[in-house]
Amino acid sequence: MNIQKKQRYTPVTNEKYRCGDITYHSFRGTTIYVLHGTNGDMLIDTGLFHIKHALRKWADKFDIKYIFLTHAHADHDWNAAYFQKRYGAKIILNANDLRLRHNFASQPLQATRRKYRWKNFTLNISGRLFPSPSYKPDIVIKSGDTNLLRRLGFDADLVFLPGHTAGMTGILSGDTLYCGDAFTALFYEPEIPPYAADITTMKKSLRKIAGLNVKWLACGHGIPVKMSSSKRVIRRYTDK
């Protein structure tokens, strides 16, 4: 399967939609992942309200014990409370995004490129008007605690990637970095995130990503993309 082929977004609900060891659900512009552990599985992000039912049908196939939120934007945490209750799962979130859950204005976004300025303006307004349903993280990630997931039974390490939000956190597992919105694959092509709470910090995180020895970047939007093609995009942006 050529995963970089452009196509319309459709629900991914079949095991044939895998990329190496990556298991994902891509629907209406949002991609959710499952990471398998020795004590159960972990859902990585939960998407907005419009994918809840399709995501539930897919996620019900797994033994979800944890919900990992890469960051606290609504398109990643809107369904967190629902799945926390459905599976009795524990939510994991970086401490630096705790305020952001119900206060979008605590980390207003900037457009990373001129073409995104108008959409960024509307996003900052909608983010204030439509907060995600309330949820309380069960496990709060503290600075420097890269081994947290190993203690929970996952062959994975945390990678701190602030910039898009202050608490943006990725997961490094095998040859894959699950990077949330620290990098993206808009329209199935490697792309710099359109928005960031701190562009300078985001650029540092992008350089960090480019320096990792991984094969795949599993993004929160679009399907997994190869690091080899992503590095060129990152370097063009960060070298300006």
> CATH number for the 18-238 domain, one of 3.60.15.10, 3.30.70.1090, 2.70.150.10, 3.40.50.10380?
3.60.15.10
User: Residue 3 has what pLDDT?
Assistant: 41
Q: For residue 1, is pLDDT > 70?
A: no
Q: What percent of the chain has pLDDT over 70?
A: 92
Listed in order, strand segments (DSSP E) in 120-175 are: 139-141, 157-160, 169-173
* Residue 109: closest CA among 196, 219, 233: 196
Judged by phi (left if over 0) then psi (alpha if -120 to 50, else beta), residue 194 lies in alpha
Tell me the average pLDDT across 145-172: 98
Judged by phi (left if over 0) then psi (alpha if -120 to 50, else beta), residue 142 lies in beta
In SS3 terms, 62-114 reads as CCEEEEECCCCCHHHHCCHHHHHHHHCCEEEEEHHHCHHHHCHHHCCCEECCH
* Structure tokens, 79: 């369904």
| Site of tokens 């190993």 | 150
pTM attached to this predicted model:
0.91
User: Residue 20 has what pLDDT?
Assistant: 64
Q: For residue 174, is pLDDT > 80?
A: yes
- State pLDDT tens for residues 111-139: 999 999 998 999 899 999 889 999 999 99
User: Residue 54 has what pLDDT?
Assistant: 94
Q: At 188, is the pLDDT very low, low, confident or very high (cuts 50, 70, 90)?
A: confident
Please state which of the ranges 4-8, 76-80, 143-147 shows the lowest mean pLDDT. 4-8
